[in-house]
Amino acid sequence: MVAKAKGQEGPAAEDHVVRLRSQWARELPDLDTEPMGILGRASRLTNLFRPSMEATFARFDLDRGEFDVIATLRRSGPPYRLTPTQIYTSLMISSGGLTHRLDRLEKAGLIRREKSQQDGRSMLVALTDAGISRVEEACRAHVANGSAFLEALDAKERSALADLLRKLLVAIEDNA
């Protein structure tokens, strides 16, 4: 029988995190490892999902960063144009990191850089028709891939989990 850490789930929930928490319960019995039950699993889920997500984007000749840029442009709505500042603020990356991504996307014909009509000194980044098509196909495949990862949960469970994660994320973002 696995040693049960304080606040640990029942015996049917044997996963990697249960094993880690059990080891800590044995080694440091006074340590409450409850945060590992949530944050450890969130991290592990991300690590397990990442290779599949990257493989999905690779099918569309994109990496995750490139997808993030063209997805940001597409979900901004017509005319699918934003300033570089709006893009990197949305993605929380450096302007230098964005410039590299934009160079690759422009070379691939998925975006174009345009002078702003309101301010001739400012540039806009716009999706091309090829970019719109590519991001829509990649987004559909990405969502289908995510859905496959969530098949172990029914609709009610997915909704409850999403609500709880949203609540936690809002609280953390508000304190950041």
Return the pLDDT at 95.
79
Residue 167 has pLDDT above 80, yes or no: yes
Mean pLDDT score across all residues of the chain: 90
Return the pLDDT at 11.
52
Residue 102 has pLDDT above 90, yes or no: yes
Residue 5 has pLDDT above 80, yes or no: no
Return the pLDDT at 12.
58
Residue 56 has pLDDT above 70, yes or no: yes
Residue 14 has pLDDT above 90, yes or no: no
Residue 117 has pLDDT above 70, yes or no: yes
In this structure, of 7-11, 79-83, 84-88, 170-174, the range with the lowest mean pLDDT score is 7-11
Set out the domains of the chain in order of their start, with CATH numbers: 1-49 (no CATH), 63-176 (1.10.10.10)
Residue 73 has pLDDT above 50, yes or no: yes
| Mean pLDDT within 3-30 | 76
- Give the DSSP per-residue string, the chain: -PPPPTT---TT--SHHHHHHHHHHHH-TT---HHIIIIIHHHHHHHHHHHHHHHHHHTTT--HHHHHHHHHHHHT-TT-EE-HHHHHHHHT--HHHHHHHHHHHHHTTSEEEEE-SS-TT-EEEEE-HHHHHHHHHHHHHHHHHHHHHTTTS-HHHHHHHHHHHHHHHHHHHHH-
Residue 90 has pLDDT above 60, yes or no: yes
